[in-house]
């Protein structure tokens, strides 16, 4: 396995390369590179052919419908699923799901999953020798509201080690899965927390070569979402691709 320094050098070289292409007039990369060598698992799993560009047809301009048939309101509170409260820093994570023109994505499914406060997932293949918390599963779901808003009540996840290279640690993050009003807007991503010292070292976060794009994954501490003597608040808006894929549906068809 490589050292952190070797991985960091690879990360910096790719970032410098991306910066040069922007300086030469290219547009900044919005998404991570699929072929991102510092993230070793991408080596054998990225397609080598260009993606084939096609126009979305009707089925791709709509999306599966989710609603309160699928998700109970209780599922957005990750702290009440067990007999007692989980250990950790109580947080609220709230924001909007929007399309590329800033329009709310209403009545759509948001799923999250995360490690516990010690950095351990409730997953049989998670080998990290940190304690499980009997009062925390780390899975939540919500349906977005009229303004595209969502809110989760949870605890702050811990950073955790992985085996990409020697002494590799993931910055604390919450996994998010999102649907838009068109199937082409599907997004799975991760939300991070401000000022994490592991950002510069993490090849998953850094797989997005443009520093401004990486910033979009960081939730903002928001004091207005903090509850006195109880919990801290973070705000994170998620912007899906669009709007070309959604314009067929128009404004009236969201209910």
Partner 1 sequence: MTDTRTNTDASGPGAIGPVELNTSQIGTERQGDGKQTPSQTVGPFFGYALPYNKGWELVPPHRADAIRLHGTVFDGDGAVVPDAILEIWQADATGTFSREQGSLEPDGYTFTGFGRASVNLAGHYSFTTVKPGPTSVGRAPSVLVTVFARGLTHHLFTRVFFPEDTDAHGTDAVLAAVPADRRSTLLSVSDGPASYRFDIRLQGDGETVFLDFEN
Q: Which of 39, 165, 173, 234 is catalytic?
A: 173
For residues 7 and 11, give the distance between their C-alpha atoms in angstroms, rounded to a whole number: 6
For residue 234, indicate whether it is catalytic.
no
Give the nearer residue to partner 1 in terms of CB position, either 15 or 77.
77
Q: Which of 36, 39, 150, 160 is catalytic?
A: 160
**179 alpha-carbon distance from chain centroid:** 13
Q: Which of 141, 165, 170, 205 is catalytic?
A: 170
For residues 105 and 65, give the distance between their C-alpha atoms in angstroms, rounded to a whole number: 12
Give the nearer residue to partner 1 in terms of CB position, either 88 or 233.
233
Q: Which of 40, 103, 128, 175 is catalytic?
A: 175
> Is residue 194 classed as helix, strand or coil in its secondary structure?
coil
Q: Which of 39, 61, 120, 121 is catalytic?
A: 121
Give the nearer residue to partner 1 in terms of CB position, either 8 or 36.
36
- The distance of closest approach from Cβ of residue 15 to partner 1 in the complex, given in angstroms and rounded to an integer, is 14
For residue 192, indicate whether it is catalytic.
no
For residue 160, indicate whether it is catalytic.
yes
- The distance of closest approach from Cβ of residue 159 to partner 1 in the complex, given in angstroms and rounded to an integer, is 14
**72 alpha-carbon distance from chain centroid:** 22
Cα torsion angle, 55, 57, 59, 61, sign: positive
Give the nearer residue to partner 1 in terms of CB position, either 25 or 223.
223
Count Cβ atoms within 10 A of the Cβ of residue 138 and give its class: 0-12 exposed, 13-18 middle, 19 or more buried: buried
For residues 173 and 189, give the distance between their C-alpha atoms in angstroms, rounded to a whole number: 10
Give the nearer residue to partner 1 in terms of CB position, either 19 or 175.
175
- The distance of closest approach from Cβ of residue 151 to partner 1 in the complex, given in angstroms and rounded to an integer, is 4
- The distance of closest approach from Cβ of residue 224 to partner 1 in the complex, given in angstroms and rounded to an integer, is 4
Cα torsion angle, 16, 21, 24, 26, sign: negative
Residues 62 and 183: beta-carbon distance below 8 Å: yes
For residues 143 and 105, give the distance between their C-alpha atoms in angstroms, rounded to a whole number: 10
- The distance of closest approach from Cβ of residue 175 to partner 1 in the complex, given in angstroms and rounded to an integer, is 7
Which residues are part of the catalytic machinery?
121, 160, 170, 173, 175
């Amino acid at each position: 396995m490589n050292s952190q320094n070797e991985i960091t050098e690879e990360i910096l070289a790719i970032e410098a390369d991306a910066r040069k292409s922007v300086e030469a007039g290219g547009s900044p990369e919005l998404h991570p590179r699929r072929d991102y060598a510092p993230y070793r698992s991408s080596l054998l799993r990225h397609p080598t052919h260009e993606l084939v560009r096609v126009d979305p047809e009707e089925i791709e301009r709509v999306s599966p419908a989710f609603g309160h048939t699928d998700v109970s309101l209780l599922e957005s509170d990750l702290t009440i699923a067990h007999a007692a409260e989980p250990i950790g820093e109580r947080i609220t994570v709230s924001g909007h799901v929007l399309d590329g023109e800033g329009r709310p994505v209403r009545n759509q499914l948001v799923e999250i999953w995360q490690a516990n406060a010690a950095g351990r997932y409730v997953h049989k293949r998670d080998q990290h020798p940190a304690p499980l918390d009997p009062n925390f599963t780390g899975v939540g779901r919500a349906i977005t509201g009229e303004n595209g808003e969502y809110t989760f009540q949870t605890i702050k996840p811990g950073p955790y080690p992985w085996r990409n290279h020697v002494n590799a640690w993931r910055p604390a993050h919450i996994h998010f899965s999102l649907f838009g009003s068109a199937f082409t807007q599907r997004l799975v991503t991760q939300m991070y927390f401000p000022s994490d010292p592991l950002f510069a070292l993490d090849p998953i976060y850094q797989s997005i070569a443009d520093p401004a794009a990486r910033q979009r994954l960081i939730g903002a501490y928001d004091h207005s979402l903090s509850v006195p003597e109880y919990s801290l608040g973070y705000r994170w808006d998620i912007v899906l691709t669009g709007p070309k894929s959604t314009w067929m549906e128009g404004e009236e068809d969201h209910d």
